[in-house]
Chain A
Amino acid sequence: MAPVLRIDAVTKRFGAVVAVDDVSIDIGANECVALLGASGCGKTTLLRIMAGLEQPDSGRVFIGDDDVTAAPPYARPVNMMFQSYALFPHMTVHENVAFGLKQDGIKGAELTVRADEALKAVELGDLGARKPHQLSGGQRQRVALARCIAKRPRVLLLDEPMAALDKHLRERTQLELLALRKRLGISFVVVTHDQGEAMAMADRVAVMENGRILQLAPPRDLYERPANIQVARFFGDINVWNGVARSDGAVEIAHLGITVAVDGKHVPGESVAVALRPERIAVAPVGGPGLRGRIEDLVYLGSGTTYFVRTPLGGVVRVLAPNTGTPFAHGESVTLTWPAAALMVLAP
């Protein structure tokens, strides 16, 4: 199926800073794509280029088959939910939602019906007469959302939609947004700096750094098969070891004193990075095969405990173990094991 929104080799500079560097991305119909990255990585600029609020220096933007690169924001069938919500303070909730419809020439009964419909969709049907300053943060976010979906855009652009909400409300809102998207059948592009939010909401996540997309993949792939160390580090804690490929195909990790078999064809002598998630490592009392070590430090986290295990050759391995069996103590000697499939070989 043809993409709803296509960004083709777009570059945007602000003075000497390259905010978006030759980025291409397709947003499919009914798809939710998250743009994930630290502040200043170019994710918001990319979103604003999609909305038409920024003009790219080069590259093209398509909505459906139409080239909208030069089209002003008011002529694009996409709508943006601003991080600050940008509700009009002098208008009531209903007037805010009706504003965009009025610009399309919708009048009279249809205007009221469609604005009411949008408010009902976000469960604010009875607050239409309020002014934005009389609403809570969560309600304001819903008004901003209703204002966008009333226009029935092809793509809804969300700039840090949860940033102003407290943690409790955030999870609920994520689920509601997903349900709403299914019901309305519109594509979402979500800008966020929170990898948990990106993974919870998006079908695909674009991890961005320095204006470039490091990897664009479904959340599971990003976590389990990251393209490089930066992406791997972005999604939670990880052990990264430098190793050297041997002639038999295994990789030797010198500072741990171990050799691991990895799936991957490497030139003998080539240096590679091997990554392993802390929760894939099992801790057991000494005995049996595995990597030996001593617990140097531990952090109790409630559902689990993070152990920092020092191996005889000096390397430290980070392990996250569930708090089910007998806990291990400071200074205790342990054996670490992991399934071979848990090892990820990354470009160093």
Chain B
Amino acid sequence: MTSAVRRRFVLAIPWLWVTLVLFAPLLLVLKISFATAQISVPPYSEFFARTDGVIVGIQATLANYALMFSDALYVKAYLGSVKIAAISTVIALLLGYPMAYAIARARPERRGLLLVLVMLPFWTSFLVRIYAWQTLLRPTGLINSALETLGLIDAPLRMLNTPGAVCLGIVYAYLPFMVLPLYARLEKLDPALLEAAADLGAKPWRAFLSVTLPLSLPGVLAGCLLVFIPAVGEYVIPELMGGPDTLMIGKILWTEFFNNRDWPLASAVTVILLIVLVAPIMLFQAVQARASRSP
């Protein structure tokens, strides 16, 4: 094989993977989103109209998309998801940045241990950890009973099944995704730059704002996207820790798909969600491309 052929062959593997697991299912979802729900297997109308096995036309409808803009429920669910995801992302950033900074500034032989500690929660089941939060937060849970024993409160605080609990769950679950890209960026930061800033008369806080922060911005963006994007579509955390007033698009998706068996509508919800999420990714790409031009 010539090196050109070999290179193409090597590139073919990721392309094949992306095609199989990303584009093909996506096209299927897109196709279903134009169908109408019906009681059959599969539970939606055919995309192609056939007569005696010969394709004579396509039967597509935009009704599913139209519904999403006419029914306030969906708009509210999208906005609710984006709001909760955004709040969680900001909290994760405020918590994750100092953590990543501290790890990056720790002695090199300590950094490995600290990173393992950040990722340690991943070693137990996600569901088990969310159930653990339930036992902590519920009215008869550890926190409430401790506060009551101490006489600080008379009646249990409502903590579980609130939007706050959902944010807490998301921050808790996705914090490592914030810490890791930030750490990777901060660890590469040349300490001499901060020394130079100090030498040139910048007090520590100013040096941070004018040197550390701008240079870690790509890490901030990567971390925020890694938290924000899965948080928008999050289903398990709002289901287990949210209340009836926590409207998130992941729950709607589940209901449409499994309870109402309306696959076309669920597909349309997914397509819109995808479009909502692609925008920040494009932004991230543009910023990354600019950052890679300046080392």
- Give A contacts to B, CB under 8 Å: 51-53, 72-74, 79-80, 82, 84, 86-90, 99-100, 103-104, 131, 133, 147, 151
Q: Is A84 in contact with B192, judged by CB distance below 8 angstroms? A: yes
In the complex, the number of residue pairs spanning A and B with C-beta atoms less than 8 Å apart equals: 60
Q: Looking at chain A's contact residues, is the secondary structure mostly helix, strand, loop, or mixed? A: loop
Within 8 Å of chain A (Cβ to Cβ): is B155?
Answer: no
Complex contacts, B201 vs chain A, CB 8 Å: 74, 100, 103-104, 151
When C-beta atoms are compared, the residue in chain A nearest to B200 turns out to be: A100
Within 8 Å of chain A (Cβ to Cβ): is B196?
Answer: yes
A80 to B211 Cα, complex, angstroms: 17
- B196 interface neighbour in A82, A104, A133, Cβ under 8 Å: A82
A131 to B40 Cα, complex, angstroms: 63
Q: Is A89 in contact with B294, judged by CB distance below 8 angstroms? A: yes
Q: Given that A99-B210, A103-B201 are known contacts, is A84 also in contact with B294, CB under 8 Å in the complex?
A: no
- Give B contacts to A, CB under 8 Å: 190, 192-193, 195-203, 206, 210-211, 214-215, 294-295
Complex contacts, A52 vs chain B, CB 8 Å: 198-199
B200 CB → nearest A CB, Å:
3
A52 to B198 Cα, complex, angstroms: 9
A79 to B200 Cα, complex, angstroms: 7
Beyond A89-B294, A99-B202, 10 extra complex contacts between A and B, CB < 8 Å: A52-B198, A74-B200, A74-B202, A79-B199, A80-B199, A86-B192, A90-B215, A90-B294, A103-B200, A131-B294
- B203 interface neighbour in A53, A74, A99, A104, Cβ under 8 Å: A74
Q: Is B190 in contact with A84, judged by CB distance below 8 angstroms? A: yes
A20 to B250 Cα, complex, angstroms: 63
When C-beta atoms are compared, the residue in chain B nearest to A100 turns out to be: B200
A89 to B214 Cα, complex, angstroms: 10
Residue with the highest number of chain B CB atoms closer than 10 Å, among A53, A79, A99: A99
Q: Is B198 in contact with A73, judged by CB distance below 8 angstroms? A: yes
Complex contacts, B294 vs chain A, CB 8 Å: 89-90, 131, 133
Q: Is A99 in contact with B190, judged by CB distance below 8 angstroms? A: no
Q: Is A53 in contact with B215, judged by CB distance below 8 angstroms? A: no
Q: Is A99 in contact with B198, judged by CB distance below 8 angstroms? A: no
Q: Is A82 in contact with B195, judged by CB distance below 8 angstroms? A: yes
A84 to B200 Cα, complex, angstroms: 15
A100 to B202 Cα, complex, angstroms: 7
Q: Is A72 in contact with B215, judged by CB distance below 8 angstroms? A: no
Q: Given that A86-B192, A86-B193, A90-B294 are known contacts, is A72 also in contact with B198, CB under 8 Å in the complex?
A: yes
Q: Is A74 in contact with B198, judged by CB distance below 8 angstroms? A: yes
**Can you report 27 A-B residue pairs in the complex whose CB atoms are below 8 A from each other?**
A51-B199, A52-B198, A52-B199, A72-B198, A73-B198, A73-B199, A74-B198, A74-B201, A79-B199, A80-B195, A82-B196, A86-B190, A86-B192, A87-B196, A88-B193, A88-B197, A89-B294, A89-B295, A90-B294, A99-B197, A100-B200, A100-B201, A103-B200, A103-B206, A133-B294, A133-B295, A151-B201
